[in-house]
Amino acid sequence: MPRITVDGNEIEVEEGRTLLQALDDAGLLMNGVDVPHYCWHPKLSIDGSCRLCQVEIEGVPKLQIACNTPVSDGMIVHTQNDRVKNAREGVMELLLVNHPLDCPICDQAGECKLQDYAYEYGVDASRSREPRRALKKNVDLGPTIVFDQERCILCRRCVRFCREVPETGELVVQGRGDHSVIETFPDVPLDNDYSMNVADICPVGALTTKDFRFKIRVWFLEDVPGVCTGCSKGCNIHLGVANNKVYRYVPRRNDAVNETWMCDEGRMSYKRLGSADRLERPLVRGELGIPEASDFDDAVAAAAERIARLRDSKGAGVIAGVASPHATNEDLFVFRRFLDALGAGVSAVAVPTGRADELLIQAEKAANASGARALGFDDAKSLCDRIQSGGVDGLIVMGSDLLGEGYLGDASALGNIDTVIGLDTHASDLQRTADVLFATRVAAEKWGTLTNHAGHVQRVQPAIEPIADARSEGEVIAAIGAALGLPGFDGGFDPLAVSKALSEAVPAFANASFDAVGDGGAPLSKAGA
């Protein structure tokens, strides 16, 4: 492999890579080796238009752009000498000639690369005396994006993104020279499944999302790493949190999962976290047959009493358990142990499905269906036949996916079951039939791991405090197991300890505990799968 020297540091790089690519591969770009750039993006074609990434290469008379200069063995590169610094200042001065400099009212302020680079690499004052070019403001490009032409520096990232990633090509550069502007084709709005990514990759405040625009200043947000739970892809994200509220999802780079992108539908799924239909506390069906609010301990006692009565009268074989593909591996491991200790007749999982594409969107609309299957939960379709034929007297069900299309279709079949214990995050028809219903947490409220469609295990952590008396599914099941006196259950639930126990007990998860997977995740063990 070629070896190059950058600012006195020798680096081994991959053959055929450009300088910026090599620095990015090594994790050094803007993280030890500062080569500012606008038009270059690690997942888009090379454009070479902004000229900000100029560096000096010994033996080459002119400065070269690092984004489009291939590495060669023995190359010696300087990124911080006076010649390079003067060139950067000149580029920044030209980029700011027509920029409105409206940082105080710009929604990008606080995470704007033009703002950052003007401070770090620009000159103190503009020498221009001509009026700034006036262009369109607040242009509606489509259902998700607003465009301010005055702020655009023509890096063309957005144009290349639409052509190369969703391959829809709605954006184009119109005009020539200093009359060039970004536009949509006539009567063609920016409307694809990934349109909001153009706001993420825009280095200035030209492209902003209608959803987040003017909601909150970004410096008030804490970015918590997490995983989108909209489908089984498990796109890596940052949750923007302030005042115990999630204001947005933005993609977090993970080349093994979603590269740097996410779909618009997944991005907007953050609104479900604090929606009005979240369940806040347990419900127990009273003497009049009406679900009544209960505290957690009383709900656990009621659930355990009904399960014990059914087990003692008819045997545990008439009880079935349905896992949720939205729960963590740790929650499902506890549920697996509970059903085995109880001697339940059937254990299954109901997985909702929908449309998919060839880029990121997966057909399974749940984050952990693969984890449930790896833990021995079979598809619930055969269980549905047994429920409808009257072969189930007790049902412990996580979530309401069992009531969806492809499974039971509605809650009517549950009305014939003697005991239904439900665990759910949001209100659903499960409330009409459950004898005891527990409020549970979403992934953004708990510690644990999720397994995506490709068997890649990734971790989640609390970004917000849970709703009222919502508990993790594992905590609920552990408490019921203790109330029933099942072996191995003492009522405690430590998700990190459970994660370690899972990795030790199930070969597929041997290298996939919460601590072991790290921020980028890790694959299930093929030897144990």
CATH code for the domain of 363: 3.40.50.740
**Same-domain status, 259 and 299:** no
- Mention every residue, 6+ apart, whose C-beta is less than 8 A from residue 508: 374, 524, 525, 528, 529
Residues 420 and 336 in one domain: yes
Q: Number of helices (H) and strands (E), helices first, in the chain?
A: 14, 24
The enclosing domain of 67 has a CATH number of 3.10.20.740
Residues 472-507 have pLDDT tens digits of: 999 999 999 999 999 999 999 999 999 999 999 999
Q: How far apart are CA 454 and CA 447, in angstroms?
A: 21
* Of residues 77, 69, 66, the one with CA closest to residue 37: 66
- Reading the block at residue 291, the tokens are 């679900």
**What is the rounded CA–CA span in Å between residue 66 and residue 51?**
9
Amino acid at 202: C
User: 81: how many CB neighbours lie within 10 A of its CB?
Assistant: 11
In a domain, 503, yes or no: no
Q: What is the pLDDT of residues 341-352, one digit of tens each?
A: 999 989 999 999
User: Considering the chain, what is the average pLDDT of its residues?
Assistant: 95
Q: Rounded to an integer, what distance in angstroms lies between the CA atom of residue 392 and that of residue 103?
A: 64
Instruction: Assess whether 325 and 249 both reside in one domain.
Output: no
- Of 95, 114, 142, the position where a domain reaches its end is 95
Domain shared by 69 and 205, yes or no: no
Residue 354 lies in a domain: yes
Contacts of residue 272, defined as CB under 8 A and 6 or more positions apart, other chains included, come to 426, 442
Q: Region 126-137: what's the mean pLDDT?
A: 88
DSSP three-state, residue 371:
helix
d(CA 232, CA 222) in angstroms, rounded, equals 26
Give me the DSSP letters along 463-507: SSPPSTT-B-HHHHHHHHHHHHT-TT--S---HHHHHHHHHHH-G
Query: DSSP E strands: which ranges in 156-195?
Result: 171-174, 181-184
Separation in Å, CA 232 to CA 229, 322, 365, 394, 528: 7, 18, 6, 29, 21
- Which of the listed residues 73, 95, 117 is the one where a domain comes to its end? 95
Clarify whether residues 268 and 347 are in a common domain. Answer: no
Is 372 a member of any domain?
Answer: yes
Q: 205: pLDDT confidence band, cut at 50, 70 and 90? A: very high
Average pLDDT over residues 296-315: 97
In terms of Cα–Cα distance, which of 406, 64, 458, 387 is closest to 237? 458
Q: What does the alpha-carbon distance between residue 490 and residue 290 come to, in Å, rounded to a whole number?
A: 31
Q: Which H or E run includes 456?
A: strand 456-460
Q: Examine residue 348 and state whether it is found in any structural domain, yes or no.
A: yes
The answer as to whether 475 is a domain residue is yes
Q: Is residue 48 part of a domain?
A: yes
User: What pLDDT shows up at residue 433?
Assistant: 93
Return the sign of the alpha-carbon dihedral for residues 182, 183, 188, 190: positive
Q: Which of 212, 240, 272 is the last residue of a domain?
A: 272
In a domain, 512, yes or no: no
Note whether 181 and 216 are same-domain residues.
yes
Residues 78-88 have a mean pLDDT of: 97
Q: What percent of the chain has pLDDT over 90?
A: 93
Is residue 158 a part of any domain in this protein?
Answer: yes
The conformation of residue 18, written as its DSSP 8-state character, comes to B
Q: Alpha helices, DSSP H only, in 315-435?
A: 329-342, 369-374, 381-388, 430-433
Tokens of 281: 């506390």
In this predicted structure, what is the pLDDT of residue 296?
A: 97
Q: Is the domain of 406 the same as that of 447?
A: yes
In the chain, % of residues over pLDDT 70:
99
379 lies in the same domain as 452? yes
- 205 lies in which domain range? 131-272
Q: What is the CATH number of the domain that holds 219?
A: 3.30.70.20
Residue 55 phi/psi, 5° resolution?
-135, 165
Check whether 529 has a pLDDT greater than 70. no
pLDDT higher than threshold 70 for residue 527? no
What is the Cα–Cα distance from 403 to 387, expressed in whole angstroms? 12
Task: Say if pTM beats, i.e. exceeds, 0.85.
Answer: yes
Closest to 233 in 3D by CA, of 410, 42, 65, 370: 370
Shared domain check, 171 and 227: yes
Whether residue 171 contacts residue 182, with contact meaning beta carbons closer than 8 Å, is answered with yes
pLDDT at 190: 97
C-beta separation of 156 from 210 below 8 A? no
318 and 182 belong to one structural domain? no
Give 376-395 pLDDT, tens digit per residue: 999 999 999 999 999 999 99
Domain count, the chain: 3
pLDDT at 179: 87
Mark whether 177 and 317 lie in a shared domain. no
Going edge to edge, which strands form the sheet with 236-242?
Answer: 222-227, 236-242, 245-251
Tokens, residue 495 = 């998700």
Residues 383 and 255 in one domain: no
d(CA 421, CA 430): 9
